[in-house]
Amino acid sequence: MKVAFLLRKFPVLSETFILDQIVELIEQGFAVDIYALFKEETGCCHPLVESYQLLEKVHFPKIPCSSKSWIRLLKSPKVFWARQSAPISKQLHSLNPFKYHRQAFLLHLLYFSSIFNGDLSYDIIHCHFGMYGLVGVDLRNLGLVHGKIITSFHGMDVHIYPKRHGSSVYNRLFNQGDLFTANSEFTRKKLVQLGCPSEKLFKLPVGLRTGLYSTINKNQTSSKVQILTVARLTEKKGLQYSIKAVASLYRQYSHIRYTIVGEGALRDSLKQLINDLKATAYIHLVGSRNQEELRSIYASSDIFVLPSVTAANGDMEGQGLVLQEAQASGLPVISTWHNGIPEGILVNQSGFLVAERDVDALEERLAYLVKNPEERKRMGQVGQAFVRKYFDISTLSHQLLGLYNSLL
């Protein structure tokens, strides 16, 4: 089976679920190609990218596509003359705003036309995030690529994109796409409300290689209790609430330490909050880490917290895969009653959920776990078994292959 992945950017450090999905298919003998509009420019890369030589499987536009619209526009004439591009007639047709709407205005179809020229055919074209499902069906409509199109929705593509561009923004995707997946039941219901045909829509969580997260609470002899968050530093992660909870908890339990792994737009404001709380000695923002480094950090931690909230612009968490990573590592987790998060833990068995923005409740649950190391261990064991059973990438890939085969 030949499978193409259509993505916005590759490789993205925070999208390990896509990487694991690709690698799992390669290991099963599938022919995989990756198409991305942008190349991630970062010095921190997942080891699997190198070990599976994935950059050799990635195709970017022959004329680099800029994230800045005015630069993209200035460069666009060069796309028409790039070697092995689509016929100019089809490139011009890709600019039809009445048919292709935002994808025409953004020039995404035009830039992809330097890769897809009508000669490429796949059994499955798997698009991650709804916006790139739209790109996929438009490229096929233009006759630039051929194959059945599956689109996987993850979160912001359900909550933010329709809010910005109208509830009908996915209509032609829903009409022309062959199959859709949602990472949670919450996301699935949102998609049905947006008009996705329920008979073509399936719940399929994103998974992880659970065997790589094998250590059960590792730190029993340490005098410190290590609290961990792995998240992009954005509003919907609610990190100011966990920072305040830990700072308050420190007054009673001075042996706690809190590490926040990730980068994002709120780094400076969160750093200022930590300074204002005089918490720099025990709360640390350590930046991004690749997955191999993250597994080591999980293994040296005791409690995981993800205080997700609904952002002012309506953005919400999707599945919250880091909660499954933490449970796979044998950590008890604390999070919020938010979107699909309750589907990804065993409430009051592998972790606790509190209301969004409730600092006191976060502090109370943290205090309980800080005081009870044996309970941390017990909950960690429950969570690890749960994630291995329901979120292992091999199990979920088997389900995905069933969906692929249903289209062939």
* Chain segment 351-406, per-residue pLDDT in tens: 999 999 999 999 999 999 999 999 999 999 999 999 999 999 999 999 999 999 99
pLDDT in tens, 109-144: 999 999 998 889 999 999 999 999 999 999 999 999
What's the mean pLDDT in 140-158? 95
CATH for 212-390 is 3.40.50.2000
Q: What are phi and psi of 177, to 5 degrees?
A: -70, 150
Residue 214 has pLDDT above 80, yes or no: no
Region 228-235: mean pLDDT is 96
pLDDT higher than 90, residue 97: yes
For residues 316 and 236, what is the distance between their CA atoms, to the nearest angstrom? Answer: 6
Higher pLDDT, residue 14 or 98: 98
- CA 292 vs CA 47, 77, 209: distances in Å: 7, 42, 12
Nearest CA among 49, 224, 196 for reference residue 134:
196
* Residue 221 pLDDT: 56
Q: Which has the closest alpha carbon to 147: 404, 390, 393?
A: 404
Mean pLDDT of 102-113: 94
User: Which residue intervals of the chain bear CATH 3.40.50.2000?
Assistant: 2-207+392-407, 212-390
pLDDT grade for 5, boundaries at 50, 70 and 90: very high
Residue 362 vs residue 50, higher pLDDT: 362
Higher pLDDT, 184 or 220: 184
Q: How far is CA 215 from the centre of its chain?
A: 24
Mean pLDDT computed over 72-94: 91
- Determine the pLDDT at residue 186: 92
pLDDT, the chain, mean: 93
CATH of domain 2-207+392-407: 3.40.50.2000
CA distances from 66 to 5, 28, 37, 61, 110 (A): 20, 35, 9, 10, 13
- Which pLDDT does position 216 carry in this prediction? 56
Q: What is the DSSP letter of 280?
A: T
| The pLDDT of residue 67 | 85
Give the pLDDT of residue 100: 94
Band (318; pLDDT cuts 50, 70, 90): confident
8 A C-beta contact, residue 151 and residue 133: yes
> For residue 334, what pLDDT is reported?
98
Q: Please tell me the pTM assigned to this model.
A: 0.90
- Given a cut of 60, is residue 217 above it in pLDDT? no
Q: Alpha helices of 287-358 — where are they, by DSSP H?
A: 291-299, 321-328
pLDDT greater than 70 at residue 215: no
Model pLDDT, residue 48: 82
Q: For the chain, give the percent of residues with pLDDT over 90.
A: 83
Which DSSP helix (H) or strand (E) runs through 227? strand 225-230
Torsion angle of C-alpha atoms 16, 22, 27, 31, degrees rounded to 10: -160
